[in-house]
């Protein structure tokens, strides 16, 4: 498990190192979309092993999800806990949809840096 700092600008990027080994070839990542009611982006169970070796590079396009715990619909909505909560789902909020199609919110590029 690791934690990084915040991105302040949509054009920013961040680099961090994650170690995998044959017993642990998968990674999962989650990032908060801030400030927001309960939106996040992420990927789960991404294998970095392939054909008996390690992937040299893998790029993932991340979509926005709504955790279903808050009824807010904008970045600055006041805290409005939802009771009961809704299941987590891909966000269809206007911030993440253009012309009826979900827009990605991030790109994650995984690069192997050692032999």
pLDDT tens for 23-39 read 999 999 998 888 888 99
pLDDT at 1: 64
pTM, two decimal places: 0.82
How deeply is 97 buried, as exposed, middle or buried, from its count of CB atoms within 10 A (0-12, 13-18, 19+)? Answer: middle
Closest CA to 74 of 57, 98, 91: 91
Residue 72 · residue 78 · CB < 8 Å: yes
> What number is the average pLDDT over the span 87-104?
91
Q: What is the DSSP letter of 1?
A: -
> What number is the average pLDDT over the span 10-34?
87
pLDDT at 84: 93
| Cβ neighbours around 96 below 10 Å, total | 20
């Amino acid at each position: 498990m690791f934690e990084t700092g915040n991105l302040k600008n949509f054009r920013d990027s961040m680099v961090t190192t994650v170690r995998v080994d044959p017993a642990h070839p998968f990674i999962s990542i989650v990032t908060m979309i801030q400030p927001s009611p309960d939106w996040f982006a992420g990927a789960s169970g991404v294998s970095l092993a392939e054909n008996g070796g390690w992937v040299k590079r893998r790029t993932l396009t991340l979509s926005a999800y709504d955790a279903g715990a808050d009824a807010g619909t904008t970045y600055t909505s006041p805290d409005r806990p939802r009771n009961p909560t809704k299941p987590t789902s891909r966000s269809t909020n206007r911030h993440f949809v253009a012309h009826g199609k979900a827009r990605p919110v991030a790109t994650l590029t995984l690069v192997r840096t050692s032999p």
